[in-house]
Amino acid sequence: MRLILRLFVLLIFGFTGYANAGVILTGTRIIYPEGAKDKTLQLTNQESQSYIVQVQIDNGTPEGFAPFIVTPPVFRMEPHSGQSVRLTYSGEPLPGDRESVFYFNFSQLPSLKAGTTQQNKLIFAITNRVKVFYRPASLSGHPEKTSEHIHLSMEGKQIRIVNQSEYHASVRRATLVRNGKDIRLAEGVMISPKSGLVVTPSSEITSLRGLLLRLVLVNDYGVDIVTERRL
């Protein structure tokens, strides 16, 4: 039976809570270029506590198929140790004219020491989720210039943001600037290649024309790229 840690909660004779995210992944996103034999990921246990870790990859839903093999799928991490995980593309066809996105998940559960079962503890598994971008070799342009391919249009009191590039646009924040104040449009959204997003200002605005729209995009290295456009 496959070990599933994602929703696992272990209750041992009581009510004392314990939850801690001690295992981290190097990097905020994973880029898998077409033609790569594999991609090595590095996990680090920052704590003095041992953890049991499960890794898996999906297409956006918990049981969704993703054409990648992750090894090893389950392992133990000792305190202040590192662990390499290999991500290998299995070869199933993916679109060649745009990026595809998947999700790498790693769940961590504190390893119980001998005698712990006699104590009152509530132990939670914590799951972290990181985007995996499969990047075809034939794509034109450069992902760092995705902001140059964002097209804006007004639809009444709404704004359509279109990503005309072949790369995903990860939007940390989108705001309108009026009289020096930010008006929220969207946060933490991703616009797929060749697709768009319609947003509505969080406060009433008589006219959008002439206002400044500020987009904060996240690049391959997790760095914010700020771009501004006048509507």
pLDDT tens figures, 43-89: 999 999 999 999 999 999 877 899 999 999 999 999 999 999 999 99
214-228 mean pLDDT: 94
Cβ count near 55 (within 10 Å): 23
What CATH architecture applies to the domain 9-135?
Answer: Sandwich (2.60)
Domain boundaries defined on the chain: 9-135, 143-230
Cβ count near 193 (within 10 Å): 20
The reply to whether domains 9-135 and 143-230 share a CATH topology is yes
CATH number of this structure's domain 143-230, picked from the four choices 2.60.40.10, 3.40.50.300, 3.40.50.720, 3.40.50.410:
2.60.40.10
Please write the tens of the pLDDT for every residue from 126-182.
899 999 999 999 998 899 999 999 999 988 888 999 999 999 999 999 999 988 888
**Residue 2 pLDDT > 50:** no
Which of 15-19, 20-24, 29-33 is the most confident on average?
29-33
User: 136: Cβ–Cβ under 8 A, 6 or more apart, which residues?
Assistant: 34, 94, 95, 96, 97, 98, 99
Summary mean pLDDT of the chain: 87
Predicted model pTM: 0.84
Q: Give the pLDDT of residue 108.
A: 93
**Residue 187 pLDDT > 90:** yes
**CA atoms of 113 and 76, how far apart (whole Å):** 13
Which of 90-94, 104-108, 147-151, 176-180 shows the lowest per-residue confidence on average (mean pLDDT)? 176-180
Q: Helix, strand, or coil here: 116? A: helix
